[in-house]
Structure 1
């Protein structure tokens, strides 16, 4: 198997080289993201490995098939960047469904505490030898209500942390996990209840055509005054302009964002020399009660190990003709994408 890994960073190379050693997989790395314009690079390869901001639309899939590419290996859980329905019967798609729920849950908690206790502002003040406590009044989380949208593996780890702090947890999921609710001590409610009752709202769901911009002017108006929004899922879940407006008007207290709806041109890259052209992102970054990370919530040694190991094992299963437990495909009978969640 000759595999071309797109959008490669040094940490990708380090871990994939370790775990592909002594296998039948020969990996080449390119810095470029997979797009219609860069798809030509896949010629001569049997498979491609892509990440969250690569574009695998119908045009790219046709090109890959033309070049004889047999498998698309997603080294991430989300697959919204791949036209899964179009790929049916053309090319196999596999993913890494849960590489490190703990890493994302833990950073979500850290970002939440940064906002509620004004930790970034405190650090900036003391670096300038300003030890005054003016402007640093925060608030306790105990007995506050957290609304968690999406209750998969990541969300369940986050809920454990929230419960440990002493928060009341309510949740919404298209596919409720009642066993998890009983075990972890949270309650399922509808979305309007999440918006109305939550002091903290955390997005932990995949991005689909049905929930794009679910956080918008209308849903924000239903929220408590002073609510906080955390998003470690996908940027497209939030209408950023509506969020900025709500923070400026103090309807929303603040936001902790590991993702951004138009991140693909900037996140994972050093833009400090050339700057950015995205005026919305610039405005977002200037807001005091906003924390923006560059899609780093997953970035731990444990997660990188899991990504590499599961990706390599997905390829090995494909080569050996074994059942692909991590395959993502469109099921015509159910008229939906199946991902064995």
Structure 2
């Protein structure tokens, strides 16, 4: 089967080539999928896209007309795909779930620790030969209350890590995991209570209609003024305007994120020479108590290997006419 890989990044191509093992004819291009680049899929039965690609209704219609049958996501999240339209157009879609929950959870911990112990500031000062400690006060995590919003594959790993730190862990999820309660002392509560009680809040939920702007002005107001809020899920889980106001008014302690609600056209590219025009992002990055990384939580060798393997396993299942375990259903989600 011929496969076109959109948004192919130099660091992931070797993993994809190894997983393919020359079984399929694969073309790698750096361009992201959108209404303009969809034409490049002419002659391909399958395409592979990343979380920043646009698989909205208009784009899917073009892909169908070009003869594309399969869409392989190199990510767990699929809020950029109009699943209902894909079904209507006869396009089959599969993602790469569970590629490495540890990679995401560990990155969330890295953001948390760097913010709490002022690691970035300390490094900057030391490189300027300033070895003073006045601005570097942190707190012990041991004994603190940590709220985990979403206790699925990634959130459950975060629960275990925070339990290891000696934290009291609160959880919020529509489907409680009672094994976490029994093994790690997790206490489930509602989101508002979690927001008001937690010293640290870490977000690990998918982007659905229900979760869009889940952390809004009302919930930010409930949080402790010294709370550390960590987001490695999706940018739109947090209402950016409300977050900026909370930071400006010193209503929360700090914000660490690997995601941003309007990543498209900014993330996954070097804007150092041209700059950016997104005023909200510029303002967010201006706060000294904001630490942001460029959607890199998944960039570990283990995660990249697993994503590549899942991608070609999904493709092989469709080609063989067998069940593709990662084929997506058609539940209502945020569309592209």
TM-score (norm: length of structure 2): 0.96
Tell me the residue number matched to 2:193.
193
CA distance in 2, matches of 1:115, 1:221: 21
Tell me the residue number matched to 2:121.
121
SS in 1 for 2:277: coil
Is 2:150–2:173's contact at 8 Å kept on the other side of the alignment?
yes
Is 1:85–1:329's contact at 8 Å kept on the other side of the alignment?
no
Tell me the residue number matched to 2:207.
207
CA distance in 1, matches of 2:38, 2:177: 39
Tell me the residue number matched to 1:50.
49
Measured on the aligned residues, the alpha-carbon RMSD in Å equals: 1.2
Deviates more, 1:86-95 or 1:175-184: 175-184
Deviates more, 1:27-36 or 1:294-303: 27-36
Please report how far the alpha carbon of residue 95 of structure 1 lies from its aligned counterpart in structure 2 after TM superposition: 0.6
Tell me the residue number matched to 1:92.
92
1:98-156 superposed Cα distances (whole Å, 9 cap, x missing partner): 11111111111111011111111111110000001111111111111111111111111
Is 1:146–1:169's contact at 8 Å kept on the other side of the alignment?
yes
* Bigger RCO of structures 1 and 2 (CA < 8 A, at least 6 apart): 2
CA distance in 1, matches of 2:113, 2:182: 26
SS in 2 for 1:244: helix
Tell me the residue number matched to 2:76.
77
Is 1:117–1:138's contact at 8 Å kept on the other side of the alignment?
yes
Is 1:329–1:337's contact at 8 Å kept on the other side of the alignment?
no
Please report how far the alpha carbon of residue 319 of structure 1 lies from its aligned counterpart in structure 2 after TM superposition: 0.3
Question: Is residue 166 of structure 1 aligned with residue 166 of structure 2?
Answer: yes
CA distance in 1, matches of 2:326, 2:233: 19
Is 1:199–1:227's contact at 8 Å kept on the other side of the alignment?
yes
CA distance in 2, matches of 1:337, 1:313: 26
Question: Is residue 314 of structure 1 aligned with residue 309 of structure 2?
Answer: no
Please report how far the alpha carbon of residue 185 of structure 1 lies from its aligned counterpart in structure 2 after TM superposition: 2.2
Tell me the residue number matched to 1:30.
29
CA distance in 2, matches of 1:238, 1:33: 25
Tell me the residue number matched to 2:149.
149
Tell me the residue number matched to 1:333.
none
TM-score (norm: length of structure 1): 0.95
Is 2:209–2:332's contact at 8 Å kept on the other side of the alignment?
no
Is 2:20–2:312's contact at 8 Å kept on the other side of the alignment?
yes
SS in 2 for 1:265: coil
1:280-312 superposed Cα distances (whole Å, 9 cap, x missing partner): 111111110111000001100010000001101
CA distance in 1, matches of 2:203, 2:271: 27
Is 1:145–1:200's contact at 8 Å kept on the other side of the alignment?
yes
Tell me the residue number matched to 1:286.
286
Unaligned runs of 5+ in 1: 331-335
CA distance in 1, matches of 2:218, 2:259: 21
Question: Is residue 103 of structure 1 aligned with residue 65 of structure 2?
Answer: no
CA distance in 2, matches of 1:169, 1:239: 24
How do 1:9-28 residues align onto structure 2 when only pairs under 5 Å count?
Answer: 9-23=9-23, 25-28=24-27
SS in 2 for 1:64: helix
* Pairs aligned (count): 332
Unaligned runs of 5+ in 2: none
Tell me the residue number matched to 1:136.
136
